Amino acid sequence: MISGLARKIAVSALLVSVSLVGGCKGEIAAPSTEASSAALWQKSPTLVSAQWNGDIATLTGRAEPGGRVVLSDGESRNHAATADEEGRFEIEVQVPPTGIYLRGRSQIGQDFVDGRGLIYLQSGPRPLAAVVMNGEASYSLMPKGGVEAVDSDGAVVVISGRSDKKQPPVITVDGARVSAVPDQTGRWAIMMNGGRAPMRITVNGQVYDYPGIRSAESNAALSADGWQITRNLGGKAVQSTWFPVDK
């Protein structure tokens, strides 16, 4: 039986590109309006990086040149910016101690085009800024090389990261050598059976102790030198993502 995570990755063909650049058009409301017609061609926003100054996260990304980008928490707080003529934008977000999820959207009139995944921000001495992807490989907005994220539904595990795009990384999982080929941006991903139990991953000599999947939905929590987030994908299906952070 193929797990939901494996099926989604196979269908999306994202083991190398991991959908980390470029957008995907989301649902668009009120399709009868002229604005909605224009929204069909609107590029969805893609977050690229994050920098911290205390509890303020400065997020940079790319969107439709001249387009309006909105980051929303789904309740009352919105953060907006307009992309420049090259499509670059920057937004500052004050992050509460409990962390915050944001949805990135491009706006045209009253219509929106959703970006891929949910942005998760956690301030503090070991901050996190990442994009959490359901059924796909999540990624960090603060990459430092090596492993960026480990996603698993308990049946399949996807280990993804970044390295020198000219040199494939040297990776082992519990002592066994595995191979990954970086794409043109240096990003790579490998898919294996398992993920429920802890495992030791090394990338170019750097050690990462993945703690294993959490079986129930939970808020972000520090676990084995990383932030772990587990969300329900429907029914009994869950996906757990572990983001290594500096010690």
pLDDT of residue 28: 26
Quick check: 121 and 128 in contact, CB under 8 A?
yes
CA–CA separation, 117 vs 139, rounded Å? 10
User: Would residue 174 be called left, alpha or beta, if left means φ above 0 and alpha means ψ between -120 and 50 degrees?
Assistant: left
Report which DSSP code applies to 230.
Answer: E
Pairing of strands 171-173, 139-140: unpaired
pLDDT of residue 210: 95
Would you give per-residue pLDDT tens digits along the chain (247 residues)? 446 565 555 444 333 333 333 333 333 233 334 444 444 456 789 999 999 999 999 999 999 899 999 999 877 778 999 999 999 999 999 999 899 999 999 887 777 888 889 999 999 999 999 999 988 899 999 988 899 999 999 899 999 999 877 788 999 999 999 999 999 888 999 999 998 999 999 999 999 999 998 777 777 888 878 999 998 877 777 899 999 987 6
| pLDDT one-digit tens code per residue, 90-127 | 999 999 989 999 999 988 777 788 888 999 999 999 99
pLDDT of residue 232: 84
pLDDT of residue 223: 81
Burial tier of 209 (Cβ tally within 10 Å: 0-12, 13-18, 19+): middle
